[in-house]
């Protein structure tokens, strides 16, 4: 598996915990604060950070106060719409955003949704 292959590389180890912050040095990530059950929080040194958090990205927004990362989501979710078209606007589907967290999508009758 990918995990087995990665962990077999020299210097790699599996850390099970929760990232709870990022240490910055000269506006560059230099470490990730890790929280593990039964242990004191600690910092894992790094040269860069990839946030593959999807809809949970708002949890990391405070780590980067000047960033445009989303801070206001509904129940840790975003509204996503995927069209199975190669051309935008090919069908007559309508999307309405009537207030801050209310989205209505009206697909055509022959659409799969």
Q: Give the separation between CA 95 and CA 113, rounded to whole angstroms.
A: 13
pLDDT in tens, 66-80: 887 777 765 545 555
Q: Copy the structure tokens of residue 100.
A: 């801050």
How far is it, in rounded angstroms, from Cα 23 to Cα 17? Answer: 17
Is the distance from CB of 23 to CB of 30 less than 8 angstroms? yes
Q: Is the pTM of this model over 0.85?
A: no
Rounded distance between C-alpha atoms, residue 113 and residue 110, angstroms: 9
Reported as a pLDDT band with limits 50, 70 and 90, residue 99 is low
Position 94 scores a pLDDT of 60
pLDDT digits (tens, 9 = 90+) for 3-53: 888 889 888 888 999 999 999 999 888 999 999 999 999 999 998 888 877
Helix (H, G, I), strand (E, B) or coil at 75: coil
End-to-end CA distance of the chain: 33
């Amino acid at each position: 598996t990918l995990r087995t292959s990665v962990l077999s590389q020299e210097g790699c180890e599996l850390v099970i915990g929760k990232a709870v912050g990022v240490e910055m040095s000269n506006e560059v990530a230099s470490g990730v604060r890790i929280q593990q059950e039964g242990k004191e929080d600690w910092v894992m040194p790094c040269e860069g950070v990839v946030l593959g958090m999807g809809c949970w990205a708002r949890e990391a927004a405070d780590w980067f106060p000047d960033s445009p990362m989303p801070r206001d989501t509904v129940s840790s979710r975003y509204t996503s719409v995927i069209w199975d078209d190669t051309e935008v606007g090919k069908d007559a589907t309508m999307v309405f955003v009537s207030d801050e967290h209310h989205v209505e999508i009206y697909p055509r009758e022959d659409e799969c949704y």
